Amino acid sequence: MKRLFIAILILCFMLPALADAPRYRALCAGMTVYEDGRVRLGGLNSIAGVADALTFSMDGEICFSSEIIFDMTQAELFDAIRRRFAYAGEDDVSLIYLTAHGGKDNDTVYIELAGGDRLTPAALESVTRDIPGRVILFIDCCFSGGFAEGPDASGWFMPSCFNSTKYLLLTSSSWDEESYRVTEGVLSEDTVSTAFARSVCEGMGWDMMQDRACDLLADFNRDGRVTLFELYAYARTRVGFYLYANPAHMQTVSLYPNPAHFILARRARAEELVISQ
């Protein structure tokens, strides 16, 4: 009875801390097959890979809970965003990964969704602006850098509509570049992914080809943590490595704002493991 009382007492002291702990939620979305028959080979691999990387990116009690959706219209995507982050609080982190074909109409970039829907930066901002707390966007498509900045009619660069301090953007390319896929072996859904998704997963400690955890490859200072800036630096270099064989294929991973020191992945270091035993 005494032990039970002590356990209840400890739990009562822990509950306020647990209630105040930030929640990390992720929605990974993209296109795999379009209604006109176009197939984005590796699309599902990229979506699932990033979701897994986020799910297993943190050790301890704080980690991302990830959900995936694919081949959706803009209305379906917006419904999923509202539902996924409906209970976000001011201390929470909400991350959205989007991968699809990207296009550019004059000075406006867009993500091509099902049914011919075109998701513009302004439309994405409108559905995420009321999400409390930190919002992180991973945009993986051609011309994705246009979601952070781009030229106006006079050729000068205009600020992104995501210029609020709540947003952090990591894009697979600059506003005037295409994004590419890479393969390991034969062309199949199991071996193809976007160069960006594969690099991001590696940086956060997930090998999407082997479907297992790996070292935190973006942990440059070996502190057991990967910041968004470290992930950007790793992905920028790693994408270049994957595309090195074809100089005509070039994409520049971009971060806005830069630098961003938000921690995306964490693993206990060896000395921490020894102390905890």
- Strand arrangement, sheet containing 93-99: 64-70, 24-30, 93-99, 134-140, 167-171, 254-256
Q: Which residue has the tokens 């009321």?
A: 130
Most confident of 52-56, 182-186, 246-250, 256-260: 52-56
pLDDT at 271 over 70: no
pLDDT band at 230 (very low <50, low <70, confident <90, very high): very high
Q: What is the 3-state secondary structure (H, E, C) of the chain?
A: CHHHHHHHHHHHHHHHHHHHCCCEEEEEEECCECCCCCECCCHHHHHHHHHHHHHCCECCCCCEEEEEEECCCHHHHHHHHHHHCCCCCCCCEEEEEEECEEEEECCEEEEECHHHCEECHHHHHHHHCCCCCEEEEEEECCCHHHHCEEECCCCCEEECCCCCCCEEEEECCCCCCCCCEEECCCCCCCCEEEHHHHHHHHHCCEECCCCEECCCCCCCCCCCEEEHHHHHHHHHHHHHHHCCCCCCCCCCCEEECCCCCCEEEECCCHHHHHHHC
Q: For 1-52, write each residue's pLDDT tens digit.
A: 444 444 444 434 444 444 568 899 999 999 999 999 999 988 999 999 999 9
CA distance 26 to 127: 15
What count of residues does the chain have?
A: 277
pLDDT at 16: 43
Which range (50-64, 74-88, 111-125) has the least confidence?
A: 50-64
Per the rule left: phi > 0, alpha: psi between -120 and 50, beta: everything else, 211 is left
Mapping DSSP to helix (H, G, I), strand (E, B) and coil, where does residue 108 land? strand
Q: Does CATH number 3.40.50.1460 belong to domain 21-276?
A: yes
Q: For 119-132, write each residue's pLDDT tens digit.
A: 999 999 999 999 99
Which range (47-51, 178-182, 244-248, 259-263) has the least confidence?
A: 244-248
pLDDT at 245: 76
The residue extents of the domains of the chain are 21-276
Which range (77-91, 163-177, 260-274) has the least confidence?
A: 260-274
Tokens of 57: 């990116």
Most confident of 34-38, 153-157, 158-162, 257-261: 34-38
Strands 157-159 and 149-151: antiparallel
pLDDT at 60 over 50: yes
pTM of the model: 0.88
Which range (26-40, 178-192, 234-248) has the least confidence?
A: 178-192
CA distance 113 to 101: 8
- Calculate ∠ Cα 229-235-241, nearest 5°: 145
pLDDT at 125: 95
pLDDT at 269: 58
pLDDT band at 155 (very low <50, low <70, confident <90, very high): low
Mapping DSSP to helix (H, G, I), strand (E, B) and coil, where does residue 170 land? strand
pLDDT at 184: 76
Which range (32-36, 71-75, 190-194, 218-222) has the least confidence?
A: 190-194
